[in-house]
Amino acid sequence: MPFTALGLLPPLAHAAGAQGYAEPTPVQAEAIPAVLAGRDLRASAQTGSGKTAAYALPLLQKLLAGHNASARDLPALVLVPTRELAAQVGDTLREFARALPRPLRIAVAFGGVSINPQLMALRGGADVMVATPGRLLDLIDHNALRLGALSTLVLDEADRLLDLGFADELQRILGLLPARRQTLLFSATFPSAIEALAATVLRDPLRIDVPSEPATAPDIAQRAIEVDTPRRTQLLARLVRDEGWARVLVFVATKHAAEIVADKLRKAGLEAEPFHGVLSQGKRSQVLADFKASRVQVVVATDLAARGIDVVQLPAVVNYDLPRSSVDHVHRIGRTGRAGERGVAVSFITENDEAHFRLIEKRQGAQVPREQVAGFEPAPRQALNPQAEAGTGGIKGKRPSKKDKLRAAAAAAAAKTGD
Ligand code: AMP
């Protein structure tokens, strides 16, 4: 089905083609006509489903038809949880907007950098702003913009907005919006807090549930490799070489571990960089640009920072440390195999991880065969307790708490510093 069949103007349909999109993804096929028709959306869509274009394309088309009452009144707002996602959504909007017959002003704002250039950029007003909640409120407090005449609100990765503690900011922002507006809510998961949010912000929404399994799902092969904790870095270096991965995103539990592992990989002769929240925005942008341009082969990242990294043709993701939750696991492995490309997600299973990994497998309804790599076979492991061995029920209470895992990861990283 061509993009024009969804009601998109030819220049926008053409712009999608120019991005290499041969045809709409399922979420795009459902969302685009509904957004053009003015409906609210409640879309459960994973990262990699093409959700950004699903709202970006019809949003731009609608903005083209509208006009601002005053320069300070913002017509459309996309709220996102992280700076990286803000930058990425801004890039997508700008790319598509270049195809339009009249220029639209697209503003991007996030914290961690000076507010002044963002204030300057808003001087002539904006047609659409992509922002993280805290910085948006700062801009409003500076009288740089108003939300009272907003016609479209997009909440992108709404579950992460709440996970990252933006509930209060979100409530304040919602309080500034007019009651009559279009709201599009995208979330990978719908825990009760998101259901409650959806119930208050959406009006008769179209429900879109893009199944995570079927033919349209990213083509991701999962592997689970048993290895002893202190040998993970060597194994990683070996895999990067032997598997011929042009780029690999490695997830670790802490900023400290990101630094240490990247450093060791560099010493092993690989182009590796850490990526975490303590790095300056400039450094983070540089690492991403280098990664995209293949100047860096391995990025070692924490979950928070890695959110929103979108590198086309990312062949591999490695869970050096397991994610804390199965939701994080979905986000992590969704970084590879995007939009129809093949990808592999490798999880290192240390002596402490088996029960936790089983829980992740259970939640995603998948079983990943355990492997060992020659030369990296783990030392014989103690038998797990019988209930955990049975793989049902008994894991609860035996599984380390988040704090336990963080402590263990920090201890492991500290131990590795010394080796
Ligand atoms: P998203 O789910 O928005 O993060 O998109 C994931 C990736 O899919 C991005 O790299 C997009 O450029 C790409 N993409 C989006 N829509 C399509 C499409 N219709 N065909 C092929 N790739 C797409």
Q: What is the pLDDT of residue 398?
A: 43
Name the residue of 12, 47, 216, 310 whose CB sits within 8 Å of the most ligand 1 atoms, as the mutation to test its pocket: 310
Name the residue of 52, 55, 94, 247 whose CB sits within 8 Å of the most ligand 1 atoms, as the mutation to test its pocket: 52
Q: What is the pLDDT of residue 382?
A: 63
- For residues 89 and 223, membership in a common domain is answered with no
Q: Which of 167, 142, 150, 156 is nearest to 84 (CA)?
A: 156
Spell out which residues line ligand 1, taking CB within 6 angstroms: 19, 21, 24-25, 28, 47-53, 310, 312, 338-339
The label of the residue with tokens 């029960």 reads: 355
For the chain, helix (H) and strand (E) counts, in that order, are 17, 14
Domain assignment present for residue 17? The answer is yes
Domain assignment present for residue 405? The answer is no
CA of 415 to the centre of ligand 1 (A): 40
- For residues 104 and 124, membership in a common domain is answered with yes
Ligand 1 atom at minimal distance to the Cα of residue 49: 2
CA of 48 to the centre of ligand 1 (A): 6
Q: What is the pLDDT of residue 402?
A: 56
**Overall number of domains in the chain:** 2
Minimal-distance CA residue to ligand 1 atom 21: 21
- For residues 194 and 226, membership in a common domain is answered with no
- For residues 204 and 333, membership in a common domain is answered with no
Domain assignment present for residue 387? The answer is no
CA angle 80, 86, 89 (to 5 degrees): 100
Q: What 3-state class would DSSP assign to 383?
A: coil
- CA dist list (Å): 79 to 132, 137, 185: 6, 11, 10
- For residues 69 and 184, membership in a common domain is answered with yes
- For residues 201 and 264, membership in a common domain is answered with no
Structure tokens given for 288: 């991403």
Would the pTM count as exceeding 0.75?
no
CA of 224 to the centre of ligand 1 (A): 27
How far apart are the C-alpha atoms of 384 and 354, rounded to whole Å?
9
CA of 44 to the centre of ligand 1 (A): 16
User: What H or E segment, with its residue span, contains residue 222?
Assistant: strand 219-226
Q: Which residues partner with 186 through β-bridges?
A: 43
Domain assignment present for residue 172? The answer is yes
- For residues 206 and 252, membership in a common domain is answered with no
How far apart are the C-alpha atoms of 112 and 108, rounded to whole Å?
13
CA of 345 to the centre of ligand 1 (A): 19
- For residues 159 and 188, membership in a common domain is answered with yes
- For residues 203 and 312, membership in a common domain is answered with no
Q: What is the pLDDT of residue 390?
A: 40
What is the layout of strands, in order, in the sheet containing 128-131?
Answer: 106-109, 128-131, 76-79, 152-155, 182-187, 41-44, 206-209
- For residues 191 and 293, membership in a common domain is answered with no
Domain assignment present for residue 395? The answer is no
Domain assignment present for residue 416? The answer is no
The CATH number of residue 86's host domain is: 3.40.50.300
Q: What is the pLDDT of residue 231?
A: 96
Structural domain ending residue among the three candidates 328, 355, 371: 371
Q: What is the pLDDT of residue 396?
A: 36
Q: What is the pLDDT of residue 341?
A: 62
Contacts of 289 (CB under 8 A, 6+ apart): none
pLDDT averaged over 10-residue windows placed end to end, the chain, 419 residues: 92 89 90 98 87 97 81 94 91 93 94 93 94 97 96 95 90 96 95 94 94 52 94 96 91 95 96 90 86 91 72 83 83 70 88 90 84 93 49 40 62 52
- For residues 170 and 49, membership in a common domain is answered with yes
Structural domain of 351: 219-371
Structure tokens given for 26: 């399922």
Helices 83-97 and 281-292 pack at an angle, to 10 degrees, of 60
Minimal-distance CA residue to ligand 1 atom 4: 48
CA of 254 to the centre of ligand 1 (A): 29
Domain assignment present for residue 403? The answer is no
- For residues 197 and 298, membership in a common domain is answered with no
